[in-house]
Structure 1
Amino acid sequence: MTQHIIYTDAYADLFTFEREGGIKEYHAILHVTDCKKAFSQQLDALMNAYQQLMGNQLKGAVSVFKRYFLSDAANQADEVAAADSSDCAKSIVEQAPLDGTKIALWVYLMTDVETKLLPSELYEVRHGQYRHLWNASAHNMAANSEYQMRLLFNEYVMQLVQEGCTLEANCLRTWLFVNDIDLNYGGVVRARNQVFFTQGLTNNTHFIASTGIGGRMQDPNVLTMMDNYAVAGIQKEQITYLYAPTHLNRTSDYGVSFERGTRVDYGDRRHVLISGTASINNKGMVVHQKDVVKQTLRMWENVEELLKEADCTFDDVAHMIVYLRDGSDYQVVKEMYAERFPNKPIIIVRASVCRPDWLIEMECMAVKAINNDKFPKL
């Protein structure tokens, strides 16, 4: 179920998933409506909308993960951090909302869970036998993007070890934000490939669903930033990797290491994590160069095939994040999304994709009701 909720100088698009006797899940994307106001006023409008949402439609839910999208992190990130004291993993990234505003928010929420910050500095969301482990805005100041990425993954591996987990068995999703991606993405790829090999993540085993995209923190010396999601207590049999071979190739064919998508089955529901997906064919080639409309259509087709492989459709999608290389493409892309996905929680931001020829990329998460007695409920 989706809702469009209007507030003073802001609005929220809300996706709700619920099953009798199970926890409720929500995905909300909050937008500011008055782009002429100063940042502090836009932040106030967003936070007021969030508080009203929590007090009404989301009463009893807790935030488990947030991502703030900013137009100018150097001048805005500290103010956001000071304004939000909620106890969850918070990602703050410069990826300007392309509606002309300075800030937007994606928030993922659940009911009937216990949350806390662990000594490992991962955020735990506990329900039943599962511990969902979130990490956000991880960064360091190593000399270049390769060293920074290697250190980020090595530190994350050690955090997972503290929780009795491994990168190979428990990590389901990563987001890699790269400052000046055209220059620094190569180092990120080399570091990830090297660390994954040491952790048993290869073309013969599996990789991890991921988005590698342009984005930055407030400090220009931070060349890479990482968000992560893992689940402790999950079994190997619950996880299926998605390939859509008629439309997409293996990422390892062109030297990178992530999965196109991941299906995770619990006893009462299915989560589908779709990686950053662009206009690509099953030979690894960019399709429809320099045409954002045709690239968007091919990108949707690719995502649809991945969802179909997980026995899902776009109707099951809880939220979408759309990345545009060229902000001048916003209006045409916005109209395409509004026509096909009215009221779906969507954010369109300015962020370069890892290949200059890709004008657009999207990621999403789907949630679907299932009944599988082999696995515990979420």
Structure 2
Amino acid sequence: MDYLSFDDPTQRASVGVSCFTGASGVSEYNLVVRPDEYADIDTQLEWMQETYQTAIDVLGIGTGTAVLRRFFLSDIVNQQDALLAHAFSNPSAPDEPCAVSWVGQPPAPPARVALWAYHVSDPNAPIVKTLDASSLTLNRGPLSHHWSTRLASTDVEDSYGQTQAILSDYERRLQSWGCSVYDNLIRTWLFVQNVDANYKGLVTARREFFTERGLTADTHYIASTGIEGTHADVAAKVLFDAYAISGVQPEQTEFISALDHLSHTHVYGVTFERATSIAYRDRKHILVSGTASIDKEGQIVHPGDVSRQLDRMLENVEALLAQAGAALSDMGLFIVYVRDHTDCGMARRRMRERFATAPIDVVVAPVCRPGWLIEVEGMAVIAADNPHLPEF
């Protein structure tokens, strides 16, 4: 993984970039953009859009390569109009189609908003994308990659009923693509308003939904992050983003555990995979779920000590990556969640000391168990040689 940074004193936002280029010549980029100075939301978005555009121009990839843009927001309810007023943050902007995700998770100050963007560039063929409602499809030969964002349901009030409705609606989308939850769903993000109160209903609804479709402790679950996060509609207790692949073959997928470091999730009543890898002809993706300071018995390690919890969570991620033949240096992105906003500065400093110019964002988002003070997720990419598998 190559890490790039753009040091331009004229810009008032900073950007970190990772790039992986496989033997096919196809490149994947992750960019994290955040304002460096205090300002109102409109001004910060203007700074970010300028820095983002400059970065993709320097990289030579253009806006047409954008697949996903997720915006982390300090006050999502009051920031909707500003987001809609800027093309790169407007889900319905008439320019190049892109999946646009909004989540209420305040970024570290002075930012009111931060951006994670994922791009795919192919020198051999045009990037073919279609946007239907809140789902973007990236067509890549025999495979189609489906990114869905901002899904919610407010027909009922409780998190259990909302999760049931969201998952059922999403399953209908999968079926319209010729997909199923069991075979094609790769990664989910479940953002929960007031996670301490509403996570239990989500967990129960998800477990029941999965069990009915054959996803159990004896088969497999889905890589996931379940964490505090809010929708622009205050009635929405749950906000859902997802990634699925139609055409993916069973031999491409591996569900990753590191049982010498982390227990299975079902040990403490939840149902997700620690990480999932997807192998292609020239590369392998390792999608790391939200990972905290946990041990092989499912217990919190270093209660009350956020700095030592950070060390343990990275040790756990390193163990998961090792199972897939990867290392922390192969990570293309780190999204770090802290429970207490006063820990943002420490978390940013510690991550920068360890990973220098890698794309890193730190946001305020309590983890699903109150004793976990910090969590991280991300994706690694490594080279592979699998001539019998589809190209990415």
Say if 2:76 is the partner of 1:73: yes
CA contact (8 A) 1:77 1:92 kept: no
Match of 2:230 in 1: 216
- What's the TM-score once normalised by structure 2's chain length? 0.94
Structure 2 Cα separation of the partners of residues 285 and 242 of structure 1: 19
What is the rounded CA distance, in whole Å, between the counterparts of 1:90 and 1:64 in structure 2?
9
Say how many residue pairs are matched: 376
What TM-score do you get using the length of structure 1 for normalisation?
A: 0.97
Counterpart CA distance in 1 for 2:288 and 2:81 is: 31
Measured against aligned partners, the alpha-carbon deviations of 1:33-52 in whole angstroms (never above 9, x if no partner) come to: 112x1111001101111222
Q: Which residue of 2 aligns with 1:12?
A: 15
How do 1:29-40 and structure 2 match up within 5 A? 29-35=32-38, 37-40=39-42
Distance 2:307 2:60 in 1: 36
Q: Which amino acid aligns with 1:24?
A: S
Gaps of 5+ in 2: 88-92
Contact kept, 8 Å, 2:108 with 2:364, in 1: the verdict is: yes
One-letter code aligned to 2:181: L
Counterpart in the other structure of 2:324:
310
Identity %: 38
Contact 1:90/1:136 (CA < 8 Å) preserved in 2? yes
* Secondary structure of residue in 2 paired with 1:56: helix
Q: In the aligned structure 1, how far is the partner of 2:47 from the partner of 2:265?
A: 41
The amino acid that maps onto 1:138 is L
Query: Given that residues 73 and 113 in structure 2 are in contact (C-alpha distance below 8 angstroms), is that contact kept between their aligned partners in structure 1?
Result: yes
2:120 aligns with 110
Shift of 1:148: 0.6
Amino acid at match of 1:71: S
Deviation at 1:24?
1.1
The letter of the residue matching 2:82 is E
Matched, 1:296 2:282: no
Counterpart amino acid of residue 226 in structure 1: F
Relative to structure 2, which stretch is displaced further, 264-273 or 74-83?
74-83
Match of 2:90 in 1: none
The aligned runs of 1:266-277 (5 Å cut-off) are 266-277=280-291
Aligned-residue offset at 1:55? 2.2
Q: Is the 8 A contact 1:174 1:210 kept in 2?
A: yes
Alignment of 1:18-57 (within 5 A): 18-35=21-38, 37-57=39-59
Paired with 1:68 and 1:6, the residues of 2 have a C-alpha distance of: 22
What residue number does 2:192 align with? 178
Alignment correspondent of 1:327: 341
1:159-181 superposed Cα distances (whole Å, 9 cap, x missing partner): 00000000110011000000000
From 72, 83, 86, give the equivalent of 1:83: 86
- Segments ≥4 residues shifted beyond 3 Å: none
Q: Are the counterparts in 2 of residues 22 and 377 from structure 1 also a CA contact under 8 Å?
A: no
Matching of residue 94 in structure 1 with residue 104 in structure 2: yes
